[in-house]
Each structure stands twice: as C-alpha cells, then as structure tokens.
Structure 1
Amino acid sequence: MISKKAIKEVLDISLPAVGEATVYTLMSIFDTMMIGNYGGNKALSIVGLSTEILYACVNIFIGAGLCIGIASYVSRSIGAKDTKAAEEYASIGFLSGICLAITICYVLFTFSEQILFLGGARGGILVLGDIFMRITVIAIFFNMMINVISSILRSYGNTYTPFKISVLVTLIKLSLDYILIFGVITPELGILGSAIASVISQFIGFIFIFLYLIFKSKIKVRLKYILSMKMDKVKKLFGLSIPSIMEDGAFSVSRLLCTFIIMRAGTVAFAANQIANTVESISFMPGMGFGVAATTLVGIKIGEKNYKEAKEYTYACALGAVAMMSVFAVIFLLMPSFLVNLFVGEEEIKLIYIASLCLFIGAFEQPTIALSSVFAGALKGSGDTKNPFFISLATSWLIRLPLIFYFIYILKLSIIYVWWVTVIQWGIDAILMFICFERRIEKK
C-alpha cells in the first residue's frame, strides 16, 4: 500500500520535473511546426538530422551521464545529512560539466560536415545542415551547463527552479523563432533563424540558473572544493557516471544509427518518422519527470538507510508515470492524423499517412516506457548504473538496431516496422529494469 505521504512527496518533486520536460518538448514541437511549414520535408530533414546528432551527445555525456552521477551522490549525501560532501560532489560535477561541454562542442563544431555526411546528408541538405549545426553547437554548450546545474538543484528536491528556467528559455526561443524564421521584423532567415534563436535563449537561461546556483541554492558550488579537489570523490563520481554515459550511449548511438538508416530511405520517410517522434516525445515527459523523482527520492532514502520507503516511493513514481503516459496512448490511438497535420500542409498526403501509422503504433509502447524510465531512475538513485547500462546495451544493440537494419535497409520495407521493433524493445527493457530493481532492494 502506497501512503499519502509518499504520493505527496513524489508529486511535489515529479510534477515540476514533468512540467520542465513538457515545456522543452513543446518548444521542440512548435519549433518543428514552424520549420515544417516554412520549408517542408527538406527543412525538416536538415534540422531533424542535425538536432538528433547534437542532442544525442548532450544526453549521452551530460543529461543521462554526468548529471546522474551528480544527482545520485548529492542526494545520498543529503540523506546522510552530510552537506559538505554534497557540495563537494556538486563542485566537482560543475567543473567536470564545463570540461566535458567544451570538449564535446569543439568536436561537433570541427567535424560537423563529416558527421552529417556519415548520417546520410548530401547536396543542399549537407551544406545548409553544416551551417545550422555549427551555429546550434554554441546553444548546446549553454544547454549542457543548464543540465548540470539543474541536476544539482534536483538532487535536494528543487525541481521548481529548473522548471521556471525551461519556461523562460521556451518563451524566448519560440518568440525569436517566429521573428527570425519568417522574417517578421528581420530578414527571413529560415532554419538558420531557428539556430540563432536557440543560441540566444539558451544563453539567457544559463545566466539566470547560474546566478540562482551562486546566490540562492541550498547546495552551492564552492571554489575551495574545486581548488582542493579530492581524487577519491572524482573517481566515485565518474565511477557512477561512466556506466550511465555508456547506458545512454548504447541507446542513443543505436537510435542515431537507426536514424542514419531511415535517412537513406528518403526525405519523405525520414520526415514522417521525425514528425511522429516529435509528437510522441511529449508523452515521454511523465516518464522522465517521475524517473527524476525516483532518482532523487531513492537516493535520499538509501542515504537514510530506509529501504522500505525507497521501494514505496519507486512504486508511487511508477504508478504516476504509467497513468499519465496511458492518457497519451489513448490520444495517439484516436487522433494520430490530426496531430500529424499540425506539422505539414495537407498536400503532403503520403508523409501524413506514414507518420500517422507510426504514431498509432507508438501508443502501444507508452506504459512500458513509463516503467523503464522509473525503475532505471530508481536503480541510478540507489547507486546502480551498471545494470541499466547492460540492459540498454542488450535491448538497443541486440534487438532494436539489427531488426531495423534488416527490415529497412535489407528488405526496404516501410518505416512503420521501426515502430513495431521499438514496441518490442521497450517491453523487454521494462521487464528487465523491474527485475533488477527488485533484486537490488532485496539485497539492501
């Protein structure tokens, strides 16, 4: 039986996190709508391929990598009432974030054309995509640092401030999108206007959240801990972060390779898949939000050595995630064509038909994505990042990638088979995450 206290604490932490993720996803959706209505499937292919590559790197190394290590150690230190250790881990994580962000952005900026070429971009798509990607890399740096600071704040239960920053960034981004893409005040810049809007909005968001971290955060980054950095804590942080990086890397790289395969199926197939992914991404937000809550709450409860409540809070998170994502499943089943039509003109009949079928199939994976996200988050909060890595490696590289390669590249079938493959992948992923969590709590 889940107590009212557990439900309240879960909702207090998870709902702002769900809101934050939802706001960022809505930003992406409206951005895609404007780009699709401006330049059709060609513009969608340029932006879609570039952003897939850029945000795969952000998620692998920062969002699902370093940030997980920071959140787990800081939250467990808080649970053990060791504020000094919490601030040490936060300071080490912040410096590590800067170093990682600079390195990643340098590589992406320097080799953007070669990366896009490997992804299947050719001709005008390659030329314009290279320019778009080089501009957007600047925005990616600030986005990574926002992620790092947000992980520090979330680790002690502050999910409201990252949510407020997401609203600020989104409002600025979409306002500038409309002005710059369509040339409302400035010259018409098209997709390059979207890239410039990203840079400005992410920079402003970073300034605000950085000032909050310095002056108002309960857990602060201290210069003294950076200057007298203890290598044992650095090793612990990266010992937890590296498997998490590898986990998301296993998933994101396989997803990226699948994107490259789909790109070779033509711009219509790629654009249809991109639209369906964009629409479906809004449904991931409850899973992500409750997963964040599970990481934080389980970390704190493990720090307190209260394993019974750690399990109770995880189940409360799982229940909330499944309930909310099931609502989206019903929507995808009932009105896929209506949702797809928001992104392109009615003349794109084939694109609308394929994207609608993909979205319809995507409804069946919503509950299992919810369970996978929550139990993976709970495992990471408890300090186990290795099992989520092995599970993600197996489901991504032994199920998703080989089957998509076979159906799309070898048999040259419709991309709807990609979506049936992911339904199978998420089902197996959720079952394995649940089993690993149960075994870990039993051992504790």
Structure 2
Amino acid sequence: MEAKERHKRNVAKEIIELAWPSITEQMLIMTVGMVSTIFVGRISASAIAAVGMINSLIFFFQAIFSGLATGSTVIVARLIGEEDKEGARLAVMQSLIMSIAIFIGLTTLGYIFAVPIVKTFFGSVSPDVFKLALMYYRIVLFGLPFVIIDIIIGGALRGAGDTKTPMYITATVNVINLLLNSTLVFGVTYQSRYLIPPLGVKGSALSATISRIIGGFLQLYVLYFAKRRINLDIKEKIRFDFNMMTRIIRVGIPASLEQVIMQGGFLVMQVIVSTMGTIAIAVYQIGMNANSLAFMPIFGFSIAATSLVGRSLGAKHFMLAEIYAKVSRNIAVVVISVIGVFMFIFSRQLAALYTTDPIVIKMASDIIRIFAVVEPLLAILNVMAGVLRAAGDIPYIVLSAFIGLWLFRVTIGYTLGKVFGMGVYGIWIGICIDFVVRSVMYSYRFKAGRWKYIKV
C-alpha cells in the first residue's frame, strides 16, 4: 500500500512538473488578454463588443490548424514513446508543410471577402460596432499565419514533453503585446503633447498582430536553431512524406472537425448575443474573458495528460496511461475548485476591472458567479478530452462536442435567451448544461477503457 501511494505521489510530481509551464503560459495569455480587454473596455462598450466578436471569428479560423497541431502533438508523443526521434522530426516537418499550404489560401480569401464575412456573422450590430469590428478584423488577419506556426510547433514540442520552450516564447510575445497595448491604445504624452497618438481599437489590433508575428518567428528560430528535443536543420531538404501526412491527418481531421464544431458553436453563440444589443455583447465578452481564469490551470493539466498518456500508450504501458489520466483529472478538479471559490466571492470586483458601466458590472458579476459553480465540470471535461485525444479517440470527442455545444449550449441558450427573453442569462445557462453533458460523456468513455487500445 505504501509503495502504491509513493508511486502515485511520483506520478503527481511528474504531472505537475510538465503542467506548470503550460499553466504559467496560460496565466500570461490570460493576464495580457484581460489587460487588453480592460484597455478596450475603457474606450467604450462598442469597442469591447467589436473586439470580442472578431476574436470569436479568428478563433474559428484557427480551429482548422488546431486540429493539425493536435495531430502533430499526438503523433510526436507516440513516436517519442516508441523512441523514434527521426520519425518525430519528420512529423513536425509534414505538419508545417500542410499548415503553410492551408493558411496562405485562408488568409488571402479572408482579406478579399472581409466585408461579406463580417457582415454575414455580425450584420445585425449597430453601425459603429460594425465599423470597429471590420477595421479590427482586417488588421489581425495578417497575424493569423504566424499564430498557426506558433500552434503547430508549440504542439509538437509539448508532445515531446517540452512545455517550457512554448512558455518562454509565450512570455516574450505577451510582454510585447502588453507594452504595445499600453502605448498604442491610449497613446503616450509628454508635457501635454502626444508623442504617440491614441489609436484605440486600431492600437489593440496592431499590438496583437505585431506580437503574433514575432511569436511565429521565435518558434521557427527555436525549431531550426535552438537545441531542443525536436529540431529541424535549415540545410535539410524539404521532404514530402505522404504516409506521415496521412497519419497526422487521421488524427488531425477529426481534431479539426472537433474544433470547427466547438468554435462554430462559440461563434453562433456570439452571433446570437450580437442581436441582444451592445450591453449584452459586453457582458458576454467579460464573462467569456473571465472564463480564461478557470481555463488557465486546466489547459496545463490537459496538455500534461495528453503528452504523458500518449507516450505511455506508445510504449504499451496501458495501466500507467490510466494512472496519469486519473491523477491529472483529480489535481485539476482540486485546483479549479479553489479558483472557483475566489471567483464567486470577488465576482463584482472582477467585472469592475473591465468596465465602469454599473449595469454591465451587475450583469457580468452574476454571469461570473454562475460559471464559478460549474468549474469542476470544466476541469473534468477538458482533462478527459486531452486523454482521449492522446489515445486517438477523437471521433468520440467530435460527437460529444456536437451534442454538448449544438444540441444543448446553442439550442438551449437560444431558446432561453431569445424565445423566453432571458437574454444573456439564458445563454449562460445553456453553456453550463453543455459542461454537464460533455463531462458525463467523457467520464463514461474513459471508464469503459477501450481508448487504451486504439491504433493511431
């Protein structure tokens, strides 16, 4: 019994050592995201509404590449577990080749059809919000290719067990973003004269785009010139390996479909909220931004679970994979429950960081309290999803995402919010029900145990 407890403690230590850089990375992203949103929120409710809508659209575009990143993470983790380092390098190269081909087309078309795209999703908003949204979209779209590079390479490094390098790059990028936001949004004055004029929403867009471009180049530098667990040689001839591409795609396409379903659901929710007025949009955006507080530790433990479970399955250590999964889930639930308590107690103070509008503060604090109650379920569903991804059981995740987001979040949210007139409160009830449904579905699938024997 003592040996078993000692083994569990060692597993917990290994999980935490792998998770903390990713948690730190998410803390940096969350902090800068909050500060950026606070800056924009101080401009006007229209500004925070416009930025929130376009960020939802950009996240939807990123969904396709997140699938490739997941495919790269899972395959690299398996190959590292099989001690096939050359195969892992080849997997990274093929992921980059595929992502470059896709994002060139996506970015080009996204800019050419900028007005129809924004009008299709957010045509019902007020003219001032639409104008700000279109300007923000056109600027941040140029940073999208570099976000994709960051996602792909970062995913490969995490699959190999290197969570520190992505953390360092994220730290650099977010510090740059924060500095640029602090100077470009409100400008810089000296002796009552502007050294840098205030750019408002345009300043926020430029800050995000410039920092993302730098992040993409940093990831490429690390991949080709730094000594890490996985490296490519700049002199190495580009190789097309369709067998490896197929292997990545087998994982990547379902993962992309999962992200398209999820981000599509998020986007539809944003569109529904956009018909409820500027106040509702601002409240929803603040609530979703506060969501990043909870997601911060979950992301780290989900990444740790994906990497450790994937490597264990690659080495045929099935029981160890199950232990990693359970311990990762339990730690995540404890940590996020503590965060939930603080979010519930200080919900009003948290909402007041984003705006001075008393109506928005009141409604947003209510939303944050609702979310704080269901946070343990968010931990379960995200960590268990990470485990199933590592196992290659992504079709089930796709099914769960469709059921949770579209049959419950979107349908119930729309019915309560629009049909029954509950507004943004009805939207948030739908979100909470989605958490319940997916956490139950993932837990059932994990308990069944068939995920341990899937070939990828």
TM-score, normalised to structure 1's length? 0.95
Q: How far off its partner does 1:433 sit?
A: 0.8
Contact 1:10 1:317 in 2 (8 A): yes
Question: How far apart are the structure 2 equivalents of 1:42 and 1:53?
Answer: 17
Correspondences of 1:29-108 after superposition (within 5 Å): 29-37=34-42, 39-58=43-62, 60-63=63-66, 65-108=67-110
Question: How far apart are the structure 2 equivalents of 1:225 and 1:428?
Answer: 48
User: Residue type of the partner of 1:399?
Assistant: F
Residue 109 of structure 1 is matched in structure 2 by 111
More divergent stretch after superposition (406-415 vs 376-385): 406-415
Residue 200 of structure 1 is matched in structure 2 by 210
Correspondences of 1:186-197 after superposition (within 5 Å): 186-197=196-207
Residue 270 of structure 1 is matched in structure 2 by 281
Query: Which residues of structure 1 form unaligned runs of 5+?
Result: none
Question: How far apart are the structure 1 equivalents of 2:131 and 2:404?
Answer: 35
Q: How far off its partner does 1:442 sit?
A: 7.1
The one-character-per-residue Cα deviations of 1:403-444 (angstroms, maximum 9, x if unpaired) are 112122222223112212211111110111122123245763
Correspondences of 1:242-253 after superposition (within 5 Å): 242-253=253-264
Q: How far off its partner does 1:206 sit?
A: 2.0
The one-character-per-residue Cα deviations of 1:180-200 (angstroms, maximum 9, x if unpaired) are 111113111111011111122
Question: How far apart are the structure 2 equivalents of 1:132 and 1:229?
Answer: 37
The one-character-per-residue Cα deviations of 1:229-265 (angstroms, maximum 9, x if unpaired) are 2222211111111111111211111111011011100
Correspondences of 1:11-30 after superposition (within 5 Å): 11-30=16-35
Aligned length: 439
TM-score, normalised to structure 2's length? 0.93
Residue 133 of structure 2 is matched in structure 1 by 129
More divergent stretch after superposition (299-308 vs 215-224): 215-224
Identity of aligned residues (%): 25
Contact 1:262 1:269 in 2 (8 A): yes
| Alignment pair present for 1:163 and 2:160 | no
1:122–1:141: structure 2 CA closer, same or farther, 3 Å change rule?
farther
Correspondences of 1:28-427 after superposition (within 5 Å): 28-37=33-42, 39-58=43-62, 60-63=63-66, 65-120=67-122, 121-184=125-188, 185-215=195-225, 216-221=227-232, 227-345=238-356, 348-427=357-436
User: Residue type of the partner of 1:300?
Assistant: R
Runs of 4+ in structure 1 deviating by more than 6 angstroms, as ranges, are 223-226
SS at structure 1 position matched to 2:309: helix
| Alignment RMSD (CA, Å) | 1.6
SS at structure 2 position matched to 1:412: coil
Question: How far apart are the structure 2 equivalents of 1:226 and 1:241?
Answer: 24
Contact 1:92 1:225 in 2 (8 A): no
Q: How far off its partner does 1:56 sit?
A: 2.3
Question: How far apart are the structure 2 equivalents of 1:383 and 1:224?
Answer: 33
Question: How far apart are the structure 1 equivalents of 2:337 and 2:114?
Answer: 38
Question: How far apart are the structure 2 equivalents of 1:192 and 1:442?
Answer: 47
Residue 192 of structure 2 is matched in structure 1 by none
Question: How far apart are the structure 1 equivalents of 2:331 and 2:61?
Answer: 29
More divergent stretch after superposition (66-75 vs 118-127): 118-127
Contact 2:118 2:134 in 1 (8 A): yes
Q: How far off its partner does 1:227 sit?
A: 3.8
Contact 2:224 2:234 in 1 (8 A): no
Contact 2:59 2:263 in 1 (8 A): no
User: Residue type of the partner of 2:197?
Assistant: P
Contact 2:22 2:163 in 1 (8 A): yes
Q: How far off its partner does 1:365 sit?
A: 1.9
Question: How far apart are the structure 1 equivalents of 2:169 and 2:52?
Answer: 24
Question: How far apart are the structure 2 equivalents of 1:320 and 1:62?
Answer: 29
Query: Which residues of structure 2 form unaligned runs of 5+?
Result: 189-194
User: Residue type of the partner of 2:57?
Assistant: I
